[in-house]
Amino acid sequence: MKIQGLAIIAIIIILPMSIILNAYSQNQIKTLELQTQYDSKLNNATYDAIKAFQLNMSNSSTSDLTNSKMRDLNASVNTFYNSLSNHFNMYGYRKRCYKKLCTCSSLYFI
């Protein structure tokens, strides 16, 4: 067999392997990218919640009272879900949908 023929056979063997390995590594990259995106969205939502709590505390003259603290905490939790919905482009959904989303994302990380 000529060297030309051998070269074609070699390429026919190597090319699919190379394509499959490339697709596999691209999938790994995409997975890592998605994980980073989820991390970043959850981090941002948490930051927003803490910032809201901080602002609510500093703006309130009754922030030392227990029921006022509870109210600030609830408002902070609401801010967390609102911010999360904005990050995931899920405007107008009910809070239980966001809770489900959080459960799903925490399961995703386990």
Partner 1 sequence: MSDTLITVIAIALAAVLMFVFPLMTISDRNDDVAQLTVETATTEFVDKIRSTGKITKGNYDKFVETISSTGNTYNVEMQVDVKDTNLGKKVSQAANDKIGENVSYSIYTSQIEEALESGTGTYYCKEGDIVSASVKNTNQTISQQLKNFFYSVTGNDSYTIAAQHAGVVTANGK
Other residues' Cβ atoms within 10 Å of the Cβ of residue 43: 11
Smallest distance, partner 1 to C-beta of residue 80, A: 8
Q: Residue 57 has what DSSP assignment?
A: H
Are the CB atoms for 85 and 98 separated by under 8 Å? yes
Select the residue interacting with partner 1 from 82, 97, 101, 105 (CB under 8 A): 82
Binding region for partner 1 (CB under 8 A) out of 80-88, 93-101, 102-110: 80-88
Residue 83 is a binding residue for partner 1 (CB under 8 A)? yes
Q: Which long-range contacts (C-beta less than 8 Å, at least 24 apart) are formed by 44-48? A: 44/83, 44/87, 45/80, 45/81, 45/83, 45/84, 45/87, 46/80, 48/79, 48/80, 48/83
Alpha-carbon distance 88 to 48, whole Å?
Answer: 15
Binding region for partner 1 (CB under 8 A) out of 73-81, 93-101, 102-110: 73-81
Residue 99 is a binding residue for partner 1 (CB under 8 A)? no
Residue 20 is a binding residue for partner 1 (CB under 8 A)? no
What are the residues binding partner 1 (CB under 8 A)?
Answer: 2, 4-5, 7-8, 11, 44, 47-49, 51-52, 55-56, 59-60, 62, 68, 71-72, 74-79, 82-83, 86-87, 89, 91
